[in-house]
Amino acid sequence: MERFFAKVIVTLKDEVKDNRALVLDKMLKNLNIEDNPAFSTGRFYTFSLSAQNLSDAHDKTDFICREILSNPVVEKYEINSIEAI
Amino acid sequence: MERFFAKVIVTLKDEVKDNRALVLDKMLKNLNIEDNPAFSTGRFYTFSLSAQNLSDAHDKTDFICREILSNPVVEKYEINSIEAI
Amino acid sequence: MKAAVVVFLGTNCETETKRALEYCGFDVNYVNFDTKNLDDYDAVFLSGGFSYGDYIRSGRLAKFTPVVDALKNYIESKRGVTVGICNGFQILCEAHILKGALVENDSSRFICKNTSLELCYKGKKRKIILPIAHREGKYVCFDDINEFVFLKYLDNPNGSMHDVAGLYDAKRRVMGLMPHPERAVFAKNFGFDGREFFEIIKDEIKRG
Amino acid sequence: MRLSVDKFIVNQIEKRLKRKMNELEKHIFSAMWSEHCGYLHSKNELKKFNTKGALFPYENSGGVKIGEWGIFFKTESHNHPCAVEPYQGAATGIGGIIRDILALNARPIALLNSLKFSFSQKHLIEGVARGISDYGNSCGIANVGGEVIFDDKYYDLPIVNVMAVGIVPVEKVKLSAAKKNCIIALLGSPTGPDGVGGAAFASKELADNKSDDKIHVQIGDPFVKKKLIEATLEILKLDGVVGCQDCGAAGLLSSTSEMAYKGKCSIELDLDKLHLSKNDLSAAQILLSETQERMVFALQEEVFDEVFNIAKRYELEISKIGKTYKGDEYIIKKDGKILSNTPVQVICEPYVYELCPKNCNNKNERECFLQTDLSSAVNKLVSNPEFASKKWFFQQWDYAVGGRTFMPPQQSGAAALKLFENDYFIGICMDSKPRLCELDSYLGTKSTFLESYRNLVSSGFEPLGLTNCLNFANPENNDTQSDFVRVTSALADISNAFGIPVVSGNVSFYNETKSTKIYPTVTVGMLGYCKSENELIEAVFCKNEDVFLIGRKINLNSNIGGSLYQKILFDFLGGKLDTSNYELEIALKNAIFELRKKDLLSGAIDVSKGGLLGSLLCVLFNSDIGFCGTLLDNKNYNDAQKLKLLFGEIEGRYIFSTNNFHKTENYLIGNNIPFTYLGKCVGDKIKFDGYEFDLNELKDKYLNSIENVLDEF
Ligand SMILES: Nc1ncnc2c1ncn2[C@@H]1O[C@H](COP(=O)(O)OP(=O)(O)O)[C@@H](O)[C@H]1O
Ligand SMILES: [Mg+2]
């Protein structure tokens, strides 16, 4: 078994309105910082895991994202990077 | 003025205990998925902005991260990327 | 009738749920998140609160506890009725026992107030008032769930799609709702419509 | 770490130690002899308070007895942390006050808060509101009431006073004293470097550069707190648990030394035994850390295993960190070495100052004769953030969790909670009148007490006890000292006169920056009780009912200094304050309770903010009905006079509605209660003395003017 380090991001699906982002948009506009920043928000996780090899690590990370970290009804996820450590 | 697209990540400072991460660690262990995933959690943002040039865009992104998106008492941030669009 | 009120770490509406249920004629026990069997009970209530601090997202982590596995068996075996209130509703959605998901209110703020609702039960529609108290109560679902909805906001406070405040599962043995019927049993200011809701649950149990 | 002990104090300490302090001891004394922990400038003054009838007034929290149950309540200030970091500051303020209640084995059932801001500092308002929302709601403790005041005097100096209420059978109360031959256990979050130096930080003026202060702010986690509450209440049920103490300001140091001091025994702590969140912490850091969500217990060795199992069930960490024995020493060990050994008395009995202020500056006693026309005055008043509904705030707070809340915010003068334990109801409110205290700190304080008193009475509650939070500027300043002495005297005098004890409280000094300082800000939290639901009174009038005013009549000679309308309309602060008449207050209370019993009173409100017309408008908005009647005794007043008579604030008044004019009138005449008939609740217009307003138009402004501003960032 090898150890890997994964970085993932969970965001709302495009069809779900991102309320936090809208609040931020309004705030930046009202503070005269940016007119239309078109924010999107998400959650960021890093963790380490054991796997046979990189492809295996990928599968496991995918599983963790799907089953633990996100809710597929409203969210999507993206594996940012997986590196051997 | 040019338009840029920024991706940033806000996480807890190292000296601040990440309770969410600890609960996730325990959960993965209990579910026999990973013994010691050593999670860390954070928030992820993307937004677009206007600036004179890339260096200017950097400064502005930095300002937005510091003043709006993060709580400097307990959090740090990292600018993942800034690209002209 | 025997009811279980499930207590996760972070659950905080168990006391009033038990009190209200007892008032409405139930025998009530608390059951812990590590309970493995629920077959003793005619109804199982997942009450409100912040299970596991609502870390990751509300209701998410509770779904990995033994009692939720037990609950799946309970539902599968058609033993009794399951009701998720507020955080309980969020847990049922996260565990995919009910369709859809609950996300942050459109206002991005916690909202605590009485709301007007339309209760549809046995083909009859009636206006009732129940209190809500949540930050993540906006119901989102991209399937057609219309026929399973039993509770709708008349003055949508949180941006829920199709004004959904509460719905059944496909077999109509599981109900989830964001408003708090258990808070509308004793005090005039919150109304007494919660009593009617618990009568419906008794009806549902008898229906078998 | 910053050390903030001045030379004089160092001399005092070393005289009593009979030796020099070592490095660690400098940290110990800088915290324990700080204003925040040691009450150096206030201790002598607080002795004046009447505590007769209070349960355990010298514990973490005091209380009153209702039936066989002890109701404990206390306030806490988190002004300094909120100025720097409003979200965490407010959250941990709530966390802290919950622990003080919990330490007595009382289950916390309600929270209240008293907040003051400059309305221009939206980020502070937003942060504090969210901090209270996120923390209080998740802990599952109903946030049932409070008050919000806006004034530019609080620019950069927000006042965040929070109050918690808890319940426990009187015979089950646990105190904080340890006994000899116990072990000391620490339950909860692993100790880390957060909040180190917080006590010293709260005992000084804020730096102009705030980022320097940010390191002192603690971080809260309501989920851990919820588990800590449940675990602590289970642990305190056990017989072998001797004492319990929360870890608040100055963390482990303050809690353990107090336990030894109160228990008259020695304590030895071994810092290697603590569960830490970071390994390389120094002894001073460990002792002074203000990591949240921790409780300390003194236990008999035999029960530790049982305690350990409870902790485990709640997924909390616990460690045995020391022991007690006969003696009077406070000993700190780390790495097998004794780092400090000091007499407990020296740590816990700091030097206290005698306040002997010289006469202070004259206040503005000038009356206000400015004027504007009444219609625009009414519109300005109802949409002013200080007068307007605080719905934006309290809707973000779960005021109903626990299922005990019977009258939600705004619905009555005080929040009502049912004690399902014994079927009684308690009423609670929190009030302050800083502008009145600025004009006359003695009368202003009495007026604050009476405001709370009338809030309870108008909701049907017999007042039982009070807690207070005294927020002041630098106590070394003569004017501040003078105000402090007058405030404590006033509170002592009036609480004696009414036989309502001061059960607990808190003092916060140094609320000033280089350029500004706050008003003397006295917050009173009062608690009362009634026996049944029928006795509860809402601030709601019924359709077609008659409205009476009882109590004093305002006239052109009345003293109305500090009235809100003068600030809102003219930005004016001045005048003399009205004096109160205790017999009248008690007669009015009895009248209200009697009328209620006879079914002659359907709703009531005390006349306060905004005077007669202000209070009448509030009830009409709550009730959603109009009004038609006469508020002035004469048509020939000029505008300034009308403003004074309609909006002026004096003591000793209530308004109520009744369904039986004649019986009510007869009762009032028969019992010598001064009264005025005002009019009838009808329609959807508010009509009086030739003026007419649209109920819904005004109500809309009243309900939404705060959120219209705050939700726009
Ligand atoms: N203004 C006050 N009025 C009455 N009692 C007070 C006041 N200020 C402090 N006390 C009492 O002094 C004791 C110590 O208070 P404090 O240091 O705030 O306790 P803790 O450290 O537990 O928060 C408590 O019993 C508290 O009620
Ligand atoms: Mg304490």
Q: Is D310 helix (H, G, I), strand (E, B) or coil?
A: helix
Q: Is position D78 annotated as part of the catalytic site? A: yes
Rounded to whole angstroms, how far apart are CA atoms C165 and C179? 7
Query: D712, A30: Cβ pair inside 8 Å?
Result: yes
Q: Domain spans of chain A?
A: 2-84
* Residue-wise DSSP of D439-498: H-HHHHHHHHHHHHHHHHHHTT-EEEEEEEEEE-S-TTSHHHHHHHHHHHHHHHHHHHHH
Residue D588 has pLDDT above 50, yes or no: yes
Supply the DSSP symbol for B36: -
Which residues form the domain of C199?
2-207
Residue D362 has pLDDT above 80, yes or no: no
Residue D207 has pLDDT above 80, yes or no: no
Name the pLDDT band for D361 (thresholds 50, 70, 90): low
Give residue for tokens 């002013």: D384
Mean pLDDT of chain C: 95
Positions of chain B with pLDDT under 70: none
Name the pLDDT band for D205 (thresholds 50, 70, 90): low
Q: For testing the chain B interface, which of A2, A29, A44 should be mutated: the one with the most B CBs within 10 Å?
A: A44
Positions of chain C with pLDDT under 50: none
Q: Is position D36 annotated as part of the catalytic site? A: yes
pLDDT > 90: percent of chain D: 86
Residue D214 has pLDDT above 60, yes or no: no
Q: Is C146 on the interface with A (CB under 8 A)?
A: no
Q: Are C1 and C205 contacting, i.e. CB atoms less than 8 angstroms apart?
A: yes
Rounded to whole angstroms, how far apart are CA atoms D94 and D667? 45
CA–centroid distance, D60 to ligand 1, in Å, is 7
Bigger pLDDT: D194 vs A29: A29
Nearest neighbour of D395 by CB, restricted to C52, C113, C189: C113
Q: For testing the chain C interface, which of A71, A75, A76, A77 should be mutated: the one with the most C CBs within 10 Å?
A: A71
pLDDT > 70: percent of chain C: 100
- Helix%, strand%, coil% for chain A, nearest 5: 35, 40, 30
> What's residue D536's pLDDT?
97
Q: How far is C146 from chain D (nearest CA, A)?
A: 30
> What's residue D495's pLDDT?
97
Name the pLDDT band for D216 (thresholds 50, 70, 90): low
Supply φ then ψ for residue D509, to 5 degrees. Answer: -105, 180
Mean pLDDT of chain D: 93
CATH of the domain at C90: 3.40.50.880
Tokens of D61: 């929290």
Complex ipTM: 0.91
Residue numbers in D near C50 (CB within 8 A) = 137-138, 140, 222-223, 226
> What's residue B73's pLDDT?
73
CATH H-level superfamily of A2-84 = Phosphoribosylformylglycinamidine synthase subunit PurS (3.30.1280.10)
Q: Are D135 and D160 contacting, i.e. CB atoms less than 8 angstroms apart?
A: no
Q: Is D712 on the interface with A (CB under 8 A)?
A: yes
Residue-wise pLDDT tens digits, D626-639: 999 999 998 889 99
Burial string for D173-201 (b: 16+ CB within 10 Å, else e) reads bbbbbbbbebbbbbbbbbbbbbbbbbbbb
pTM: 0.94
Residue D211 has pLDDT above 60, yes or no: no
Residue-wise pLDDT tens digits, D382-438: 999 999 999 999 999 999 999 999 999 999 999 999 999 999 999 999 999 999 999
Go through the domains of chain D in sequence order and give each one's CATH number: 57-333 (3.90.650.10), 538-713 (3.90.650.10)
> What's residue D1's pLDDT?
40
Name the pLDDT band for D200 (thresholds 50, 70, 90): low
Q: Are C178 and C142 contacting, i.e. CB atoms less than 8 angstroms apart?
A: no
